[in-house]
Amino acid sequence: MSGAGRFEAYDEHGDEHGAEHGDEHGGDEEKEGYGGSRKGGEGGEGCEDAKDAKDATDDQQFGYGSQVGPGSPGSPSGPGSPSGPGSPSGPDGPGGGSGPGSGDSPGPGPGPSPRIPMPRASVEDGDRPLPTLEELGDLAPRPAPAPLVLEHHVLKSLLGAWALAACSAQETAAVEEHLGDCGTCADEALRLREAVGLLQRPETLDLDPGLRTRVLQSCLDRRPPRIPVPRWAAPYDAETARLDALLQDIGDAEWHAPVRLRWFEGEEQTSRRTTVAGVIAHLLTVDGLVAVALGLDDPLGDIVAQAPTPSARTEAYWRASHFPPTRSVRAPWREQSHDLVRTVSFTGEGPGKLAVSYGGCELPLHDAMLDRAFECWVHAEDIAEAVDYPYGPPSPRHLNRMIDLAARMLPGALAVRRRNGLASPALGRHLVPAGAPGRSLRLEIEGHGGGEWLIPLDSPGAMGSAEHEVAHVALDGVEFCRLAAGHVSPTEAAAGQLGDREAIRDVLFAAASLSRM
């Protein structure tokens, strides 16, 4: 069978087409096939038939061409096979043994098996029964091993290994079955499991929160920075980095999550609704007050605020935005925070007397950076609460600096409330010269970053004195910061109180009045 004849065996044309092929290629002319030069019908016919017979035998051996019956799938005599109805057969047909160009007259004769295997039939689709376990032999599933039967003293000796999960599967099954019947061994096994838990506690997969700080500190110990960040600017640097890490973890949709800003005005708490992106825009505009004082660009640009206060600048920025702020506000906020830290680092550890105006009041540069760090932490907690993100307080060293700033601002806030008629004059109040001791309240802050402060009650210029102490208040450090941020009402703050109740009430309300939007 020539090369052309082997491919034409799968042609589904009739006998006329096969005859045309025979006429076209000639009868007895010498042809060049894939097997070499030979005459049509001679030379290679025996080899081809023997090869086809071997392939048919291989197909039947692997189940591809097994003859189940006439016309059945895979049978050479079925429809579509070389000798079945609708397919040309014979020496001159495409399926004949002599191939095109042999010149022999058409005649009946069996054709070769197809070279391409037929699809394998499923066992479930045929009429043959499924094999039994005996027929499967080594492929049959092995029976389950018999349960291990051990004596009581052997099982008791295995309790230690069982508690450490060091027993085999059979030993574990035997021990656990025994524990259901023996109460003494069950109690001993429980004690051993608890002891194993004390040996090595399960470790969380989350990274240690202090890992970043330790890595940076070790790097700085190896190569100190040429221009270090001042200690009074370190809280702002740390809190902006923590907030930026939070923003990096949230998705695009969470930037539009609703956030409620809360602060205290007069005698009651107030709030303002915005989004996560709106909070970052608020931090951008208020940090701009420090940037302007340092000679940097104002983030408002050409936007004109009604007043140079934090709330007025924020409202002006929100109104000027044609669309609600999105995550695109993160880049300018983070760039500005880097510029602030870089700029104040050149001032070193100097006195920092440069004044930063907040509209109604001024703060020295040192205190202004602490104020910005405090507000960054407070609003980061607002964002974390809105997007359900775990967020902790600042480090104790930085938290202590923030509490110290609020404690130093309490006498001035208390005097403002008295001038506005919001704080009642206490009995026995008397003015003292600046720097002289006067009536005082002891503010005790507990927890990490805590301490004690003596708050003068009668005059902002007076000096706190333990000899003139009339009241004592104790609060947790984080609780006091939330009170100063306006997140907790003075009447609901968890504070231990001793002494003059009016003085304590005035100081708690003065602490809440430090908050703003």
pLDDT for 478 = 94
| Confidence grade of residue 282 (pLDDT, cut at 50, 70, 90) | very high
Average pLDDT of span 130-148: 72
What's the pLDDT band for 67 if we cut at 50, 70, 90? Answer: very low
Q: Report whether pLDDT(57) > 70.
A: no
In angstroms, how far is CA 199 from the centroid of its own chain? 31
Task: Give me the pLDDT at residue 250, please.
Answer: 93
Which one has a higher pLDDT value, 125 or 277?
Answer: 277
* pLDDT score of 236: 97
**Residue 454 pLDDT exceeds 70:** yes
Phi-psi region of 451 (alpha: psi -120 to 50; beta: other; left: phi over 0): left
Three-class HEC string of 162-192: HHCCCCCHHHHHHHHHHHCCCHHHHHHHHHH
- pLDDT beyond 60 at 34: no
- 76 pLDDT higher than 50: no
Which residues of the chain are in CATH 1.20.120.450 domains? 229-392
Region 55-62: what's the mean pLDDT?
48
Q: Please state, as a whole number, how many other Cβ atoms lie within 10 Å of the Cβ of residue 241.
A: 16
pLDDT at 450 over 50: yes
Encode pLDDT of 8-17 as tens digits: 444 444 444 4
Q: Could you report the per-residue pLDDT of 455-476, keeping only the tens digit for each?
A: 998 888 888 888 889 999 999 9
Angle at 364 between CA 359 and CA 367, to 5 degrees: 100
Which three-class secondary structure state does DSSP give residue 393?
A: coil
CATH 3.30.1050 spans which residues of the chain? 398-512
Cβ contacts of 491 within 8 Å, gap of 6 or more: none
pLDDT of residue 487: 93
449 confidence band (pLDDT: 50, 70, 90): confident
Reported as a single tens digit per residue, the pLDDT across 420-439 is 888 776 555 667 777 788 88
pLDDT band at 122 (very low <50, low <70, confident <90, very high): low
Answer whether residue 26 shows pLDDT above 70.
Answer: no
Tell me the per-residue pLDDT of 302-356, one tens digit each, with 9 for 90 and over: 898 888 899 999 999 999 987 778 889 999 999 999 999 999 998 876 666 789 9
Q: What are the phi and psi torsion angles at 117 (to 5°)?
A: -65, 145
Q: What is the mean pLDDT of the chain?
A: 78
Across 392-417, average pLDDT: 94
* Domain 229-392 homologous superfamily, CATH: dinb family like domain (1.20.120.450)
Q: Average of pLDDT values for 445-449?
A: 90
Q: Average the pLDDT over 102-122 and give the result.
A: 60
* Percentage of residues in the chain having pLDDT higher than 90: 42
Q: What is the dihedral of CA 384, 385, 390, 391, to 10 degrees?
A: 60
* 113-152: b (≥16 Cβ within 10 Å) or e: bbeeebeebeeeeeeeeeeeeeeeeeeeeeeeeeebebee
Confidence of residue 140 (pLDDT cuts 50, 70, 90): low
Q: 2-40 burial, b if ≥16 CB within 10 A, otherwise e?
A: bebbbebbeeeeeeeebeebbeebeeeeebebeeeebbb
Mean pLDDT of 396-417: 94
pLDDT band at 50 (very low <50, low <70, confident <90, very high): very low
Instruction: Identify the pLDDT of residue 126.
Output: 66
State the pLDDT at residue 473: 95
Does pLDDT of 482 surpass 80? Answer: yes
Confidence at residue 104, expressed as pLDDT on a 0 to 100 scale: 46
d(CA 59, CA 116): 9
Q: For the ranges 139-153, 250-264, 455-469, which has the lowest average pLDDT?
A: 139-153
DSSP string, 413-457: HHHHHHHTT-SPPPTT-----TTSEEEEEEEEEESTT-EEEEEES
Per-residue pLDDT band at 28 (split at 50, 70, 90): very low
Q: Which 3 state secondary structure label does DSSP give 357? A: strand
Fold of 398-512: Nonspecific Lipid-transfer Protein; Chain A (3.30.1050)
